[in-house]
Amino acid sequence: MSSVAVTGASGFVGRALCVHLAARGFEVRPLVRDPGAFSLPGASPPARCDLPDVLDESALEGVRAVVHCAYATRETNQDRARRVNEEGTRRLLEVSRRLGVSRFVFVSTVVAYDGAPSYYARSKFALERLLDPRRDVIVRPGLVVGRGGHGLFQQLLDNMRRLHVVPLFAGGRQPVQTVHIDDLSDAIARVLEGDLRGAFNVAEAVPLTFRDFLRTMAIRSGTRCVFVPVPERPMLAAVRLLEKLRMPFPLRSESILGLRAMRRIETSGDLRRLDLRVRSADESLAEVFF
């Protein structure tokens, strides 16, 4: 049975991955900020990981791979975000190398590219470049769909249900490619089981527009709402001002910039390498709201 350490195990992606890997026979070592508040049947006792300052290195001893899911996506202070995300990833990678971990699996995003408009996408791209494609793995998921959590999908759903008004930037024409949380977990498990290396884009092959995705979400969730075209630049400036004043608002500037970063990504070849079929957006939403 292979041992795998998973950072961010209390998060949406990390927890689902731990459950999935344990069910497939892996010895799972969860790393979380607060081990006392975390429990997961089938996994080893949790170890503490509050990057970049705190890392229980004993949890990485003897493991075959480290899967790095932890990421400060809700941190509004960019200096703190950079410290956690960038310094934290560098420290985790250094410790993994020093302890002889054979593979480092980094959960990135399909919108990670050089010059991307959002900090999230740019930082993910920069951290990808720290890895060695001959020994490490980069998994780039599309928009992750599933029940619960605090990711972009849940934020969109919460705002839709609370406000019943959905803003559409650029008419909602951005291409979006989704992946169900279980399919993403399956992809990472196949990477580990198949001893694969390199980068994998994991999302449905054929995108739909963001507008159509939101409309399907509203229908599947039974939410009545109005779709309102909104000019991006004035709204972005207003949201940034509200953030500077620390005033609550249902939209974040990073979310708006993330929409600007959306583009069609080729996934068919990577899915064939994984021998994996991922659900379409409609299939994923049907499973979430059955």
Going along the chain from its start, the domains and CATH numbers come out as 3-143+179-203+265-278 (3.40.50.720)
Among 29-33, 59-63, 179-183, 243-247, where is mean pLDDT lowest?
243-247
Q: pLDDT at residue 112 above 90?
A: yes
Q: What is the pLDDT of residue 141?
A: 98
Core vs surface per residue 245-284: b (16+ CB within 10 A) or e: eeeeeebbbbbbbbbbbbeebebeebbeebebebbbbbeb
Residue 184 in this model has a pLDDT that exceeds 90: yes
**Confidence band of 288 (pLDDT split at 50, 70, 90):** very high
CB burial of residue 103 (10 Å; 0-12, 13-18, 19+): buried
| Segment 139-180, tens digit of pLDDT | 999 999 999 888 889 989 999 999 999 999 989 999 999 999
63 neighbors 5 (Cβ within 8 angstroms): yes
Query: CA 191: distance to chain centroid?
Result: 17
Instruction: Read off the pLDDT band of 12 (50, 70, 90).
Output: very high
Looking at residue 1, what is its pLDDT? 60
One-letter amino acid for residue 220 of the chain: R
How many CA within 13 A on the CB side of residue 156?
Answer: 25
Q: What are phi and psi of 226, to 5 degrees?
A: -110, 135
Q: What are phi and psi of 120, to 5 degrees?
A: -55, -50
Q: What is the mean pLDDT of residues 253-278?
A: 94
Query: Is residue 6 within 8 Å of residue 21, measured between CB atoms?
Result: yes
pTM exceeding 0.85: yes
The residue ranking higher by pLDDT, 51 or 251, is 51
Q: What is the mean pLDDT of residues 27-31?
A: 97
E-state strands within 142-286: 143-145, 165-169, 175-176, 178-180, 198-202, 208-209, 226-230
Residue 137, SS3 per DSSP: strand
d(C-alpha 180, C-alpha 196), whole Å:
21
Dist CA 90 CA 98 (whole Å): 12
Which residues contact residue 237 at a Cβ distance below 8 angstroms, ignoring those fewer than 6 apart? Answer: none
